[in-house]
Amino acid sequence: MGKLPSIPRYVGKKDDCSDNVDDALILFNKMIEKYPKPSIVEFTKLLAPIVRMKHYAIVVSMCSQIELLGVSHNVYSMSILINCFCQLARIDFGFSVLGKMLKLGVEPTVVTFSTLINGPCIQNKVSEAVSMLAEMTERGYQPDFIVYSTVLKGFQPDILAYNTVIGCLCKNGMLKETLDLFSKVKVKGIRPNIITYNCLIHDMCNSGQQAEATRLLNEMVDINISLDVVTYTILIDALCEEGMISKAVETVDMMIKEDIELDVVTYNTLVDAHCKKGMVSKAEDIIFIDENASLSGSAAVWVSFILLSLVNGGRSLSIFHSSFNTSATHTDVK
């Protein structure tokens, strides 16, 4: 590859090359002629202002020359390169750089991922951005609010889109950001739905913010959103965790009055809570609340029962065998 056009001296002042790409090119040519070669840190000090000038193709060419000189890239220079490819609508090359980073053992940062998320958003490829966001969280990187805002800016979001982002924020324990985004949703005139509230209430209960969970629950009722089995199960689980089993049972009674059918998660929660308290007969009663409900229980229920049998002389094991045989019969009939 031939030399790029040139640049005067750069001694680290922030704005030396900030308004003249020709000066930056001259400096780059001087740097690559030096011996020993400057470090990648010195090169990135030059690359950053050229990116700010939006000369993305020049930066890509510079990165290529830096690599040919045998200067190893770091996470910052590679993130700059990914950004340039995304700005040039070559997201595929951006992903190639990410792959190279991982192969070389260079750990991507939140900035690296947010850059890749921004690329598809620029081209209105929102599904790709959401997929990248999911991969980011799966790899254990905690997105910040800027990352989520980037995804939302990529399209005209509806409540489904906001629910996706709120869910990710909740999963990462970003309570303040979650509530801030929730407030913005309402200010924009977008009506939250049952999924929005369930996600928020679950997060508040898990973080011990019962007062906030109650406020959200009341707000939900005030705007005529009916509680569903998920909402009730969240509340039952929170009450059981607080040791308020009688209140949890009252909540179940409320569900029954509202004609909301309990699901296996609700049963598991109640059985587990009663087993932990040593309330054997109550746990047994719950198993047989409704034999016609087609709920054979999950492994969690039976593990609780088997453990409980160790402290009650094996009586719960007979219940386990009876229920298991019954559920097996139902399965055979089906």
User: What is the H or E stretch that residue 21 is in?
Assistant: helix 21-33
Structural domain including 45 reads 1-103
Single-letter amino acid, residue 7: I
Tell me, yes or no, whether 243 lies in a domain: yes
Question: How many angstroms separate the CA atoms of 231 and 220, rounded?
Answer: 11
Whether 301 maps to a domain, the answer reads yes
Final residue before a domain boundary, out of 76, 103, 130: 103
Q: What is the pLDDT of residue 274?
A: 64
Specify the length of the chain in residues.
334
Q: Which of 149, 172, 243, 162 is closest to 197 using CA atoms?
A: 162
Nearest-CA neighbor of 151 among 137, 161, 141? 161
Cα dihedral across residues 158, 164, 169, 175: positive or negative: positive
Domain boundary among 72, 103, 134: 103
When divided into structural domains, the chain yields a total of: 2
Q: Is residue 52 part of a domain?
A: yes
- DSSP annotation of 142 reads -
**Number of helices followed by number of strands (H, E) in the chain:** 18, 0
Residue 236 tokens, joined: 């039952």
Which tens digits make up the pLDDT trace of 98-138?
888 888 888 877 777 777 777 766 666 666 666 766 666 67
Which tokens hold the place of 281? 């007969």
With respect to residue 207, please indicate whether it lies within any of the assigned structural domains.
no
Residue 329 lies in a domain: yes
pLDDT at position 197: 92
Which of 103, 128, 161 represents a domain boundary (last residue)?
103
CA distances from 167 to 130, 160, 195, 236 (A): 12, 10, 9, 21
Task: Determine, yes or no, domain membership for 67.
Answer: yes
Residue 192 lies in a domain: no
Residue 163 domain-assigned? Answer: no
Tens digit of each residue's pLDDT, the chain (334 residues): 444 333 333 333 444 444 577 888 888 888 888 888 888 888 888 888 888 888 889 889 888 888 888 888 888 888 898 888 888 888 778 888 888 888 888 887 777 777 777 776 666 666 666 676 666 667 666 666 666 666 666 555 667 777 877 887 787 777 888 888 888 888 888 889 999 999 999 988 888 888 888 899 899 989 999 888 898 888 888 888 888 878 878 888 888 888 887 777 777 777 766 666 666 556 555 555 544 444 444 444 444 444 444 444 444 444 444 444 444 444 443 4
